[in-house]
């Protein structure tokens, strides 16, 4: 009888600990107001890193030529490649589309702690895709 109580107590503690760990690891996505505020001032420029260990690098230029929360964009990759595209904000989602093929990619953003205007972008709010440092 004592071993059953010990097992139940151990299982309860393990279950409680796993719940606390899951909550601590959850991402705090930016709200719609926070995303809108991050892109509020004029046309902005963001350096980004993606891929394994941030090996893929480039710079995005977001122009507000359609509205306060959308417009055209240029993506510079390396020294010689520039892709034209579009960007927009809808609620708490940043939507980017470069090139003429495919659907826009939708990102949920998380502020990088201790950094100003730095964000981690999660594709469809799930998979970490890239980090941005904006000016």
pTM of the model: 0.76
Residue 58 pLDDT more than 90? yes
Say how far apart CA 87 and CA 113 lie, in whole Å: 25
Task: Note the pLDDT of residue 25.
Answer: 55
Q: What is the pLDDT of residues 13-23, one digit of tens each?
A: 333 333 333 33
Give the DSSP H/E element, type plus range, for residue 88: strand 81-90
DSSP β-bridge partners for residue 87: 71, 96
Say how far apart CA 84 and CA 24 lie, in whole Å: 39
Mean pLDDT across the stretch 53-60?
88
Q: What is the pLDDT of residues 113-133, one digit of tens each?
A: 999 999 999 999 998 889 999
Say how far apart CA 87 and CA 66 lie, in whole Å: 10
Mean pLDDT across the stretch 3-16?
38
81 or 4: which leads in pLDDT: 81
Angle ∠(12,17,18) on CA atoms, nearest 5: 100
Q: What is the pLDDT of residues 83-93, one digit of tens each?
A: 999 999 999 99
118, 131 in Cβ contact below 8 A? yes
75 or 21: which leads in pLDDT: 75
Choose among 117, 95, 119: nearest CA to 109. 119
Say how far apart CA 108 and CA 14 lie, in whole Å: 31
Which residue segments constitute the domains of the chain, with CATH numbers given? 32-134 (2.40.160)
């Amino acid at each position: 009888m004592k071993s059953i109580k010990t097992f139940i107590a151990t299982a309860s503690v393990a279950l409680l600990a796993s719940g606390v760990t899951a909550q601590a690891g959850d991402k705090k996505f930016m709200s719609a107001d926070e995303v809108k505020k991050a892109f509020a001032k004029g046309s902005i420029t963001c350096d980004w890193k993606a891929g394994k260990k941030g090996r893929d690098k480039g710079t995005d230029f977001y122009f507000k030529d359609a509205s306060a929360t959308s417009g055209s964009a240029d993506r510079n990759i390396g020294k010689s490649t520039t892709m034209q595209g579009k960007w927009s904000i809808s609620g708490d989602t940043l939507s980017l589309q470069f090139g003429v093929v495919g659907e826009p990619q939708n990102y949920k953003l998380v502020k990088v702690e201790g950094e100003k205007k730095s964000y981690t972008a999660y594709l469809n709010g799930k998979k970490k895709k890239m980090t941005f440092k904006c000016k």
